[in-house]
Amino acid sequence: ISVSHDFSDFRYPASAKQLNLEFLAAMFQRLALFYETHIKPHLFPSEDLSDMGSENLHHRKIRLAGRDIQNTSLPLKKRVQAASYIGLLAYTGGYAAGTCAGEFMASLIGFLKHPAIMDKGIMTVLQSLSGICYIHLHNQKRAKDLELVDILLNILHMKEATLLLNKSTQVKFWSCYLLSVLCCNNIPIIKTLNNSERLQRDLEILAHKGWYGWPNNYAKELLQLLGYARP
């Protein structure tokens, strides 16, 4: 199995109404293999962890990756790679691991405002946040409190001065996907999106793009969920 570092070929599955677990699990299986082969030996080079409970070990991995995310002395690329591991660990470790990973959401969201981050890095962060917020109401609420919804809306509209203006279509697709994850069983976020004056038009434009390689057209899914279009 060949796994690239930029993760740009991965596709998170999910609509706001029904999340495709099989598709997401397959992607994380590939990430898990990469983690076990290339990352775990660096996180735990010589420690005997046999006496640690699996949950504690999982949480420790999350905190070690989180430490890299918050270490501003590291190159941005390495910090973004750590962000991808956090998303993997949050998803594979269950709800408690997701809660642990949620402690680093502020730093992850901060990457989306970083002036030097490129589109591939943005997509990696959006993927990670999708894993952390996946069927996790507490993290979804935290994401809303950290203004992630507003940031995603600005990415879709391309008019946020603190963000890069040269957003690729794929970055917008990932933003739609993450919004669909945030909307899952979350009425307050759905209401917030309904209050956006420009979202409907932005989604209509994206819905007519070619969503090649994606399991669903998430712009279209959001239009239907928000009542702007019929199923």
Give 113-137 pLDDT, tens digit per residue: 998 899 999 999 999 999 999 989 9
Average pLDDT over residues 178-205: 93
Look at residue 5 and tell me if it is in a domain: no
- Structural domain contains residue 6: no
- What per-residue confidence (pLDDT) applies to 228? 87
Within-domain flag for 30: no
Specify the number of domains making up the chain. 1
Residue 129 lies in domain? 57-226
In a domain, residue 26? The reply is: no
In the predicted structure, residue 141 carries a pLDDT above the cut 50? yes
Tell me if 38 is assigned to some domain.
no
**Residue 51 pLDDT:** 45
Residue 21: partners with Cβ closer than 8 Å, 6 or more residues away: 13
| CATH number where 190 lies | 1.25.10.10
Indicate whether 216 belongs to any domain.
Answer: yes
For residue 25, being part of any structural domain is answered with no
Q: Is residue 37 part of a domain?
A: no
Average pLDDT, the chain: 80
